[in-house]
Structure 1
Amino acid sequence: MSKIIRLICISFICVVMPALANEQHQAVNQYIDKLVNDAQIVLNNTKLTDEERGNKSKTLIAANLDLNWMAKYTLGRYKKQLTEAEQQEFIRSYSQYVIKTYADLIKNYKGEKATIKQVETLDANEFIVKTEVIKTNGQPSIKVDYLVKNIANKAPAKFLIADVITEGISMINSQKSEFDSILTNNDIAALIAILKKKL
């Protein structure tokens, strides 16, 4: 997961689509533009201490990831076996774990830039944003795709990022597989304990 934290450093290019798709893509464009601007302010502000930058990064990450959906998705078939209280406790622990992981990795930011290569519409409320991250040290670029969801299902849209796919590897599918292995022989309390330990 160390390669995929650049989710907040991307820009948008337009593609020729039907009118409705163009409107949706324009809305995604505005969302991404704001995300990029907010991120750049945090990452490039030399007046911030490491602690301040970390706290602001956590706030930005929490506001732009669909953590509730992601947490439930990673539980897979085990979600139906949990009480509402157990689900909520897992969502809290999972969210804290993901936010901290991304915030810690942001510390390694070295000015990498990402260019959007293509935007694909999956359905009326889901989009894949395909980007290429250009490394600053001469290393090969990295293909990073983002699953962007309109969680409002209506106008005005509210976009959140639901998955990050690096070189074809999905973050949430990898987590789902890992959690499934743990839950095969353990209960949800054991998984929550593992996530809390990583905090």
Structure 2
Amino acid sequence: MALVDKTSVREIRRLQTRERLLGAAVAEFKRAGLAAADVQAIVTAAGVAHGTFFFHFPTKEHVLLELERREEERIAKQLTRFTSAESDLAATFTESIRLVRGLERRLGALLFKDFLALHFSPTRPPIDESVHHPVIIAVADQVENAKTFGQVDADVNAMNTAVFFLLGLYALLTTTHGWPAQQTMLDDYVRRTLRSIGAGN
């Protein structure tokens, strides 16, 4: 029994250290951006030894992967709550954009750009692609619902549509950050996406 308790305490401490490192890393990424972020500043802020960072996160990109996982779960939950009361596909796409832009406000310009760029980065750490991203699943579910009710073309692949929509959105947000016409472009993007699957006017 004592061994189980000791292991549990050790695991709790490990998780607490990981959380401190994650919080310190996010703060440093907000300040300096991923490329310029200083690991020494992160471990100093977290109050741990230098090597402890790499025990938990082999690279700085692994921190972003963890942040991505958490933010996708949070956004997917919010989107699912929204779609439980609102089934219109245009509204789903628009709400997806609103939630992702809310993430931009929370992360700040530097970290948000790094966060989105990770999707397209050749140095993105390998992950198990069989585990689907929850935001993609949430959007795909709504596309499938629209297909069931004949609101989009019968040959539409819901999962592909969700992937194309979200990756296009991430690319658009990354390349038009701070543009005065960004919202107009996003509105046009939603309209064109709907038309491409037979749901536009």
TM-score (normalizing by structure 1): 0.28
The structure number with the bigger radius of gyration is: 2
More helix by share: 2
More strand by share: 1
Specify which structure has the bigger relative contact order, considering alpha-carbon pairs within 8 angstroms and separated by 6 or more residues: 1
